[in-house]
A and B are shown apart, each in its own frame.
Chain A
Amino acid sequence: MAVEVIEKKNKNKRYKPVLEGIPDWPVYQLSKNRKEFIEEVANQSFTRIKEIRPTRKQLIDELEATVYREQQRMKRNRWRVDPQDEPKFWSRIKSDLVELTSKPLNDEGNNKEDEILKRIVQRYANEIAGKFNPSSYKFARNIIKFWFARLLNAARVKKFGGIFRNQYTLRDKIQIVGKVKQLRKLTKEGTIVIVPTHLSNLDSILIGWVIHSLGLPAFIYGAGLNLFNIKIIAYFMNSLGTYKVDRRKKNLPYLETLKMYSGLAIQKGAHSLFFPGGTRSRSGNIEKMLKLGLLSTATEAQRNIYLNTPEGEEARKIFVVPVTLNYHFVLEAPELIDDYLSIKGQDRYLPEEDKYGSFQLLQFLFKFFTKGSNISVSIGRALDIMGNYVDDDGNSLDSQDRVINTRDYFLSNGHITIDKQREDEYTRMLSQRIVSEYHRIHRVFASHLVAFVAFEMWQKKHPKLDLFGLLRLPEEDLELEYQEFKKTFKRVRKQIYQLKKADKANYATHLKGKTDLVIRHGLENVGTFHIKRPLLMNKKGNIVTQDLNTLYYYHNRLVGYDLEKFI
């Protein structure tokens, strides 16, 4: 059925590339010297870990823990992407360690543990490093463009031969709003670190397309290794210059090597992207807490840049750009919310697992293009590494729009100093700032608003039930009278308008308009491809659900705005 509520005509125009030739791209420079770069990462990680574990005993303990964890991981949770020689490598390390510890530990040792550590970080650095290859980059990018366009036109132009038309492009499907111009300008002024919200495995591809379609040079980006299990994604990822983040490995040598990789790349001026929330948001919430590890590499890189730049000379600045991605429908929603609920119910370990292979993904893409489901991408205003807004020339501004010298944050007694604790605190401040920017630029969808209102209304009707009690209610007993629903919907929507006025939220243009139509738009789009629909209208015209869990998931998109009291 056609929907009368339509997104405002997408103004997204075609953007010219910011830098003409691929050889000018920082990521290309990095990949050209790939071997040297990996070597540098490994060496510096080695030094860093030695600083953290200064005595022989501490280092050997750390190595033993690492081997143990790695062997556990291989036993319990092996993936398709894991290299074949892995078990052999680690059992070698283990026997070397056993040999080392069987002898008494005197300081006269030949520092065998250093050599072992070196082997481990070298392996990790190689695992993490991405390969950027200009020709396969171009190839992958064209494939994406071509097939997306074909699918889109086949779906929209319902005539024979629609598949060969070019009437619609991806640009009509994906709404990009926000500070595009600034972002383009700043790629030339400094180093960009894009930090998007993370809902779906699709994010990684989507954001790659966004970066390209905005005419930006390629970014290096950290993608979860689990994605590489899906062959079709792995193909694109490898060619787009991603580095791999393996969330199963939580040992110190791995984490330090990963951070070093990101940090050094940023320091060398490679535009970067990572998902600071870590994994996909399982609850469906907008990220409230960010992982500070990778984020801290931006702070550290900026400090090193200042440290290495003689006073008076201009130091290259790092700009952090929050981006929110929003969908009416998240393919993995049912599994994600189940994970979330079982974690919440009882603290237990969940392996990173994906139930979707290439086939499901293609199927989803097809559905996505054949039905009217839009994606929204909001580009936030750029921040410096302290979370201050920057202007289009890259100057950091305070709340009175006075220019701040970012270098001053690292000064102590007139000199730039390295103070880990201070920088950890800075990173924490930055992460809070990013979270509030997420909320500010996140565009509320009608589909999330109907989910939010319905779920909260049911919660209100059962004040004695906690979340789990509520979710256990039989779906067929739940029905909301339409007029009552509509009244509440209007009230909450008005509050969202207020939030936008106060610059604390944003909404998609389709949210405005006649209430009945907006509600219908919401109902038609909320989790539209799930087998069980989170929310729909029954024959009587009332609101019902087929799956409270996924309804809860989509509802969660609007948690954190304090809208509950308007129900």
Chain B
Amino acid sequence: MTSRNLSDNKPVGVIGAGNFGSTVANLLARHRNVLLYARDEKVIKRILDKRENRGHKMSKHITPTNDLQYLAEQCDVIFPIVPSAHFRSMMKKLSPHLHPYHILIHGTKGLDITLPKGQTIETITKLNRDQVKTMSEVIREESVVVRVGCLAGPNLSKELASRHPAATVIASPFNEVLSIGKRLLRNDRFQVYGNNELIGVELAGVLKNIIAIASGALSGMGHGENARGLLISRGVVEIIHLGRALGGKTKAFLGVAGIGDLVATSNSTFSRNFQVGYKLAQGMSLREILESMDEVAEGINTVRIMKKCAEYYKVRAPITHAIYQVLFEDLTAKEALNYLMRYPLNVDIDFID
């Protein structure tokens, strides 16, 4: 185990005690003392009493708390890892306690949307970057923190917890954030890469969930690896087009956070998004699927948002469209696949000049 650096005796904060939050807290606890924020008193008690949460054995260096102010006062570096749907409201609560010296590195692979009162994604006429924000943008909007970063890449919580080799990307325009993140997370089983394209990396992590659902659906239909190879390669093209429309740079999608994460989630039965697709193809309805899951699959909302954005930015996104129809309209997975196989566009690579 890496030695604890005693000179840096300030603890590191983690907000959100979900699957990934717990995993990150454990990774951090190998180097530093960790304050873990959980909303639920029961979770806090369980961690204190049994050193266990969501099947993760929790390090003794983790102290759970439900006091955001205390956490912000104690920690200069904070990892917010809460579902995108709650991210903004969490930031609003945290914001009064934050200062420009704080560093926030989030681990949420979803998008934030702000809609006018009474509107939904489906009823609004257009959806664009004025309303759709990445989590780093939410942090910037809601707080004075500027040194912001994100975690992305193939880091499925369950594999990490069992110490399989894995890697993550920390993205931030600030090298300072990259080096702090590396120092805090790296260990002999966990490689950490740095990338300055924050928005691109965030989008890569978000958009790959669409393809993960599609991949799950392929498996659910019993199709093989040829089909998956096709899906993943076409998926990369679609992600890049969507990502660029939203302001990401191509390069970000080709690295560990893009292709690396895409391949990992598209092949993993551990992935919630994969599970959604799998169960859909097996004939379960979306509602049944949601009821059977303990945590949100970010991909579902991402599909809704990206379908609307693709229309606004006039980006061809056949996979997103097909998945949308399977999720929210009454297209079956099989019909969607047929649709995609007949899709007329067949240029292999069109995103590199």
A: which residues have CB within 8 A of B?
Answer: 386, 388, 398-400, 402, 404-406, 408-409, 411-414, 419, 421-422, 425-426, 429
Give Cα A113 to B208, complex, Å: 55
Interface residues of B in 81-137 (CB under 8 A from A): 95-96, 99-101
Query: In the complex, which of the residues B10, B95, B146, B173 contacts A409, with contact meaning CB atoms closer than 8 Å?
Result: B146
Chain B CB within 10 A, most for which of A405, A409, A429: A409
A422, B101: Cβ atoms under 8 Å? no
Tell whether B174 is near chain A: CB-to-CB under 8 Å.
yes
B: which residues have CB within 8 A of A?
Answer: 8, 10, 76, 95-96, 99-101, 141, 143-144, 146-147, 173-176
A421, B174: Cβ atoms under 8 Å? yes
Chain A residues with CB under 8 Å of B146's CB are 386, 409, 426, 429
Query: In the complex, which of the residues A409, A414, A421 contacts B100, with contact meaning CB atoms closer than 8 Å?
Result: A409
Give Cα A399 to B95, complex, Å: 11
Give Cα A258 to B100, complex, Å: 30
Total number of A-B contacts with CB less than 8 angstroms?
Answer: 42
| A422-B99 CB under 8 A given contacts A398-B144, A409-B146 | no
Give Cα A406 to B99, complex, Å: 9
A412, B176: Cβ atoms under 8 Å? yes
Chain A residues with CB under 8 Å of B8's CB are 413
| A408-B174 CB under 8 A given contacts A398-B144, A429-B146 | no
Chain B residues with CB under 8 Å of A414's CB are 76, 101
A436 → chain B, closest Cβ, in Å?
A: 14
A421, B101: Cβ atoms under 8 Å? no
| A405-B176 CB under 8 A given contacts A386-B146, A413-B76, A429-B146 | no
Chain A residues with CB under 8 Å of B95's CB are 400
Query: In the complex, which of the residues B10, B101, B173 contacts A408, with contact meaning CB atoms closer than 8 Å?
Result: B101
Give Cα A408 to B10, complex, Å: 17
B99, A425: Cβ atoms under 8 Å? no
B28 → chain A, closest Cβ, in Å?
A: 16
Chain B residues with CB under 8 Å of A411's CB are 100-101
Chain A residues with CB under 8 Å of B175's CB are 419, 421-422
Give Cα A426 to B146, complex, Å: 9
Closest to B141 in A: A399
B91 → chain A, closest Cβ, in Å?
A: 12
A405, B174: Cβ atoms under 8 Å? no
Query: Nearest 4 CB-CB pairs, A to B?
Result: A408-B100, A411-B101, A408-B101, A409-B100
A404, B96: Cβ atoms under 8 Å? no
Give Cα A408 to B144, complex, Å: 10
Closest to A397 in B: B144
Chain B residues with CB under 8 Å of A426's CB are 146
Chain B residues with CB under 8 Å of A412's CB are 101, 176
Give Cα A56 to B95, complex, Å: 50
B100, A422: Cβ atoms under 8 Å? no
Query: In the complex, which of the residues B76, B100, B174 contacts A404, with contact meaning CB atoms closer than 8 Å?
Result: B100
Q: What would be 16 A-B contacts, judged by CB atoms less than 8 Å apart?
A: A386-B100, A388-B144, A399-B141, A400-B95, A402-B96, A405-B99, A406-B100, A408-B101, A409-B146, A412-B101, A413-B8, A413-B10, A419-B176, A422-B176, A425-B173, A429-B146
Query: Can you name 14 extra interface pairs (CB under 8 A) apart from A400-B95, A411-B101, A422-B174?
Result: A402-B96, A404-B100, A404-B144, A408-B100, A411-B100, A412-B101, A412-B176, A419-B176, A421-B175, A421-B176, A422-B147, A422-B176, A425-B174, A426-B146
